[in-house]
Amino acid sequence: MTPQTNLVVFEHPLIQHKLTYLRERSTSSRAFRALMAQIAGLMVYEVTRAFPHDPVEIDTPLETMTGTRLRGTITVVPVLRAGLGMAEGVLDIMPEARVGHLGLARDERTLQPRAYLNKLPRDLDAGPVILVDPMLATGGSAAAALGMLRDAGARDLRLMCVVAAPEGIARIRQTEPDLVIYAAALDQSLNERGFIVPGLGDAGDRLYGTV
Ligand code: PRP
């Protein structure tokens, strides 16, 4: 972790291997969905390392011992649409987590996000909350989503994305200086259309074949 920025970039070769296929133009929607879920699953394994946990006494068939249980209720919040592709992989690893949904669409011209859905559990402060969105471009969508989560009561919060641009990280830092951001890659920059380069294209379109 880089202490100054609370940014964790995964350099694990298996994640990078899958990310490289994800980026490739020739990767089909079907493969793209599978890779996105697998990368999110691998990332959440590391993200949960920092989760609060408690010792718990259990009986094995042979004797009593002290095991470990994660504390509180974990909530995964995908930003629609593309975040759904990551949430699936997180739930494969952590099926006990619950899911809140935030719908945000970025205007292609102004690059401003427009919220169209907010369906969150009432007690968001009941445990850790992971916001998932594969792309952190200008950071406008993630900043809006984080604001919605804070308004809804989230306290223990972190952001997980696949590809981040420096502009997006800087945008989040304006309102959330201490939030830990997890990314599979920190890319070079944004192009004139607000796309991350080299990036992986439009994640929502590639996931759902709407290119
Ligand atoms: C994309 C992406 C992020 C957002 C990133 O979603 O999945 O949510 O844009 O851009 P930003 O950091 O500049 O806000 P989009 O609005 O295209 O919607 P979609 O997932 O439904 O395709």
- Per-residue confidence (pLDDT) for residue 41, from 0 to 100: 98
Domain count, the chain: 1
**Domain range for residue 161?**
7-55+70-208
Please indicate, yes or no, if residue 60 is contained in any of the structural domains. no
Please indicate, yes or no, if residue 62 is contained in any of the structural domains. no
- Per-residue confidence (pLDDT) for residue 3, from 0 to 100: 47
How far apart are alpha carbons 87 and 71 in whole angstroms?
A: 20
Please indicate, yes or no, if residue 204 is contained in any of the structural domains. yes
- Any idea what the CATH number is for the domain that residue 189 is in? 3.40.50.2020
- Which among 81, 133, 141, 181 is the best mutation to test ligand 1's pocket, defined by most ligand atoms within 8 Å of the CB? 141
- Per-residue confidence (pLDDT) for residue 211, from 0 to 100: 79
- Which among 80, 101, 106, 174 is the best mutation to test ligand 1's pocket, defined by most ligand atoms within 8 Å of the CB? 106
For ligand 1, say whether the CB of 194 is within 6 Å of any of its atoms.
yes
Please indicate, yes or no, if residue 104 is contained in any of the structural domains. yes
Query: Separation of 64 CA from ligand 1 center, angstroms?
Result: 49
Please indicate, yes or no, if residue 1 is contained in any of the structural domains. no
Please indicate, yes or no, if residue 63 is contained in any of the structural domains. no
Please indicate, yes or no, if residue 164 is contained in any of the structural domains. yes
Give tens-digit pLDDT for 162-188. 999 999 999 999 999 999 999 999 999
Please indicate, yes or no, if residue 166 is contained in any of the structural domains. yes
Query: Separation of 52 CA from ligand 1 center, angstroms?
Result: 31
Stretches where the chain sits below pLDDT 70 are 1-5
